[in-house]
Chains A and B, each alone.
Chain A
Amino acid sequence: MNAVMIDDQTSKPPAERRARHRRGSVSAKLVLGAAAAALVVLVVYPLFWLVLGSLGGTDKFTFSNYLRVVSDPGLYDALINTLLIATGACVISLVTGVPIAWLISRTNIPGKGLLRMLTSVSFMIPGFLSALAYVMLMAPNNGWLNRLVVSVTGAEKGPFNIYSLPGITMVTSFGVMAYVVMLTSAALDSVDSGVEQSARILGASRWKILMGITLPLVTPALLASALLVFVQSLALFGSHAILGLPVQIYTLPTRIYSLFAFPPDYGAATALSMMLVLLTVGCLYLQRWVLARRSYITTGGKAGVHETHDLGRLKWPAVIGCHAFFALAVYFPVGVLLLTSLMTAQGSGLTLDNFTFDNYFAVLFESSLTRRAAINSLIVAGSAATLGVLLGALIAYINFRLKPRGAKVLDYLATIPLGLPGIVLAVGLVLAWIRLPVAVYGTLAILLIAYLTRYIPLGVRSADSALRQIDPSLEEAGRISGGSWLRSMAEITLPLMKGGLVAGWSLIFVQAIGELAVAIMLFTVGTETIAVAIYQRSEEGHFEEVAALSMLVLIATALILGLTRRLTRASVTRF
C-alpha cells in the first residue's frame, strides 16, 4: 500500500489517472493472483504431504513404504482387479454410450428427451447407491432378481452374483457411461453435415459414411471419453467397497481405505496412493494429448443443422435396446430403492401390510443425524459449487485470456484433481491440514476444501467452454469505456458466462451431494454429510431407511438439475 501512496504523490500531471490505473491493475493482480494461489494451496499442498508421507514423513527419508507396498503380493491382485474393472467399464461405456449418443444426435429415434434425461440420471446416481441397489437386486442368494428366477424356474440358485468382478464392473460402468454419451454427442454435433453429404454425393452408403467418415472424425472424442471413463473407474470407491470387500475382491481404492483404517498405516497408504495418482495422471495426460490433436473437430465451428437419419424398421428395436440398457442402469436401481423405501421390512416383498411411509418419516423428522447431514450437505455442496465455478472462472480466465508464462502449469494443476481418487485426496488433506493450528480438520471447512479441490476441474472446464464463446473485445469495450477490470469482469464477462457457470454449478453440486469417498474420511461429529449418513446406516443394515434417504437425495438432485436446466435453458450434462 505504501508504495502506491508514494507513487501517487510523486507522479507527474495525470497523477490521478496513474493512481487509478495502479489501483485497477492491483485489483486484477490481487484477484487473479489469489485465484492462482488458491489453486496451488488446494492441489499442491495435499499432494506435497502425500509425497512426503510416502517418503517417510518429516522425520526420515526412506523408500521403505514403497518397497513394502510393492513387495505385498496383495497389491498385484488389487492392481489387476482395478485395471480389469476400469477396462471393463470402459468397454461397456463405449459399446453402449456411442450408439446411444449417435441415436440421440443423428437419428429420428423417438423419445430423445427421455434418453437424454436418463443419461443425466445415470450420471446423477452416486456409485455407492447403485451398488446398494444392486445388492438388493442381485445378491446371489436373496437378491430380488435371483429369487424371482428361482421361483419361476425352480432352479436351486439364481444366476446373478453382483459380488463379483463382472458385477462391480457393470455397476461402475453405469456411473461413468454418461461421459461417453455427452462427449460423443458433443463431437457428433460439431461434425458438419457437409462432410457427410459430400461423401453421399460421391456415392457412399450411409453405413460407409458412418464408419468411414463420421466415426473417424469423432474418434479423438471417443478416445478422450474412454480415458476419462477409465480414470473415473479407477478411482471409484463406493461401489468397489460395497461389492468387492465382502468377497475379498480388493482394488487400489479399497486397499488404501483399509490401510488407512485403524491402526492406520499412513506410510503404505500414501505410497499406494501415489501409485494410483501416477496411474490416473498418466491417463489424463494421454487424454489431453488425444484431445489436443482433435483440432479438426472444433474447427467445424458451430453445431450446424444435421441430417436426421431415418431408422426405418430399426426404430423400435433401437428404442427397446436403449431402454433395456437404461433398465439396468436406471430403472432397476431406482425402482428397487423406491420400493424398499416404502417397505417395513425389505425381506418380505411389497404387500399392503408391508407398505409404509415410516421410513421417510423416520429420516425426515425423527433422526437428528439425517437432518443435520442434509443441512451439512446442502451447505458444503452449495458453497463448493459456488466457489468452484468462481475459482474456475478466474483460472480459466488466466489460462485462456491472459496466457501468462506458466499458464500451462495452472492448467495442469487444475486437471490433477480429476486423477486424484477421493480416498487419496482425503488422505492428503488429513495429513496436510491436521497439524495446522487453524481449526480446519474436524470442521465443515475441511469438507469444503476437499470438495473444492475435487471439483475444481469441473469448474474450470465449464468456465473455459463458456469463456471460449465470448469474444475478448466485449471485455475490452468495457475497459475502454472506462470500466475497471473488476467492473468489466462483474458486469460483462461473468454475466455472459452465466449459462456455463450455472451448468458447472449444478454439475459440481450434484457430484458433491453424492460424494462419499472424501466425506467418509473427513467427517466428524456434527459434520456428517448425507452420503455419510446413508453409508453408515447401510453398514448397520437399515436398508429401508437407506433407501428412503437415497430417494430423497435423488429427488433433490433431480429438482436442482431441472431447475438449473430451466434457468439456463441448456442441458446441464452437455459440455
Chain B
Amino acid sequence: MGTIEIKGLSKNYGDLRVVDALGLSIADGQFVTLLGPSGCGKTTTLRMIAGFITPDEGTITVDGAVLSSPDHVVSPENRGMGMVFQNYALWPHKSVFQNVVYGLRMQRPKLRREDMRDRVAAILDTVGLAGYGDRFPGQLSGGQQQRVALARSLVTEPSILLLDEPLSNLDAKLRDKMRDELQEIQRRTNITFVYVTHDQTEAMSMSDRIAVLRAGVLEQYAPPRQVYFRPASVAVADFMGLINLIPARVESYDRPTATAEVELDFGARLGVPAADGFEPAAGEQVTVAVRPESITIRPASAVDEDPFAEVSRVMMLGHLCYCVLRIGEVELRVQTDNHVDLDRGDRVCFDIDPRRASVFPASTTSESAPAKELV
C-alpha cells in the first residue's frame, strides 16, 4: 500500500512561506509529479514527505497513519520509503553492492545474508547493472550512477518512492531513455512514485497526475492532458509550454456549457470554454489562452472574411516550425508542420480551435508571463 494524504501543509523559512496550505491525495500505485519552477516549494514538499523537514502546519498521512505533523515527525528511517536524490548521493566509500545492500541490512528482523545477495543481484539486473557489484561509484558513468541510486532505493521494495529531479544531471539522450525505464519500472512494481521536476516534458510523459506548484501554492492537480489543455490558471498554462494570451471582451456567457462568447482584441468572435471556476460576466475584459498548435494557418485569399495577419518571423526547428504572426497590436505564435512555405511579410489567414482555448480573468494576464520566447 502507498497512499499519501497531505492536508493543509505549510512550511516557512523565516518570512518566506515556501509551502502554503498544500493539500494533495496520492492514490496507491500512482505516478505523481510535483512540477514547478525552482523555488516553488516542490522539493520542500518532497522532503517533508520523506521526513527530513518538519512541517509548520498540516499533516502528512500515509496509509492512514500520520507520519508528519508540526509536533511529531516519524524519522525518515522509519517510513519505509525509498528516495532517489538529484545528485544520486551514492556513498563513494562503498562499492555498488554495499550501496545497494545497505537498506536490506537495516531491515528488522534481519535478513539472511544469501537473501540479501540474491535481492541485490536481482535489482542490479533490473536496472541493467548485473555484474557491477564490485565497482565503486567513482568508476561509473553518470547514467550508471543513476541506476545504482535507483537500485538502492528500490531494493527494499518500498511502497513509496520519492524522486528528486533524478534525471536533471543526465544528457538529453540518456534522459529520454531513463524516462522510459522509470515509467516501465513504476508500471511493473506498482510502487507509488512521487516525482519532483521542473521539466514539464518529463512530467507530462510519465505522470498519472501532475501537481503544479507556484510560490508554494498548489495551482492545479490533474492528469497531464487536463493540465495541458485545461490549465487552472494562466500561470499553469504558461508553465506547461508556449501559449498565446489574447486580450478579449465577453459578449455573453452560457453557464450550462460554461462557454463564453468573446470578441478578441483584433476583432474575431469565438465561443471559448471558461477556465474551471471562472464565470465571466458580459462585457468583462478577459484573456483567451491558446496554444500554438491550436491555431492553423492557411494562405489568405482576397475574399476571405477570416482575420488575416502578417508573418513577422519564421523559425524552422526541424520536426516542426513556428511562425510569429502580427495582427494589430497582438503577436501570435503558431505551430505549423515543417513544410509550410512562408516568408516574412506574407499575409496569412488563421483559425483558432476554440475548444482547445480557455478564458481567464483579465487581471491575471496583464503582467503574468510575457509568452516565452521561442527556443
Contacts and interface: CB of A to CB of B under 8 A. Distances in A.
A12 B87 contact: no
B102 A21 contact: no
Nearest to A14: B65
Contacts of B75: 21, 24-25, 479, 484-485
Contacts of B79: 17, 480
A481 B152 contact: yes
B36 to A, nearest CB: 20
A17 B78 contact: yes
A342 B86 CA distance: 63
A335 interface: no
Interface in A20-51: 20-21, 24-25
Nearest to B102: A481
A480 B77 contact: yes
A487 interface: yes
Nearest to A22: B75
A400 B8 CA distance: 31
Contacts of B87: 471, 473
Contacts of A18: 72, 74, 78
Nearest to B86: A473
Interface residues of B, number: 35
Interface string B81-104: 111011101111100000000110
Given A12-B65, A13-B64, A477 B77 contact: no
A278 B332 CA distance: 71
B93 A24 contact: no
B80 interface: yes
A18 B65 CA distance: 10
Contacts of B153: 480-481
Contacts of B103: 481-482
A480 B50 contact: yes
Contacts of B106: 481-483, 487
Given A12-B65, A24-B75, A478 B102 contact: yes
Contacts of B67: 14
Contacts of B86: 473
Given A482-B103, A496-B92, A477 B152 contact: yes
A482 B75 CA distance: 9
Contact of B65 (A13, A471, A485): A13
Interface string B44-79: 000000111000000000001101000011111111
A492 interface: yes
Interface in A434-493: 471, 473-474, 476-485, 487-488, 491-492
B68 to A, nearest CB: 11
A474 B102 contact: no
A495 interface: yes
A17 B91 contact: no
Contacts of B81: 480
Given A477-B152, A482-B103, A482-B106, A21 B91 contact: no
B76 A496 contact: no
A485 B153 CA distance: 18
Contacts of A479: 51-52, 75-77
A130 to B, nearest CB: 40
B89 A473 contact: yes
A20 B74 CA distance: 9
B87 to A, nearest CB: 6
Given A478-B91, A482-B103, 13 more contacts: A14-B74, A17-B74, A18-B72, A473-B87, A476-B50, A476-B83, A476-B85, A480-B162, A481-B156, A482-B77, A482-B80, A484-B75, A487-B106
Interface of B: 50-52, 64-65, 67, 72-83, 85-87, 89-93, 102-103, 106-107, 149, 152-153, 156, 162
6 contacts: A14-B65, A24-B77, A25-B75, A477-B83, A477-B149, A482-B80
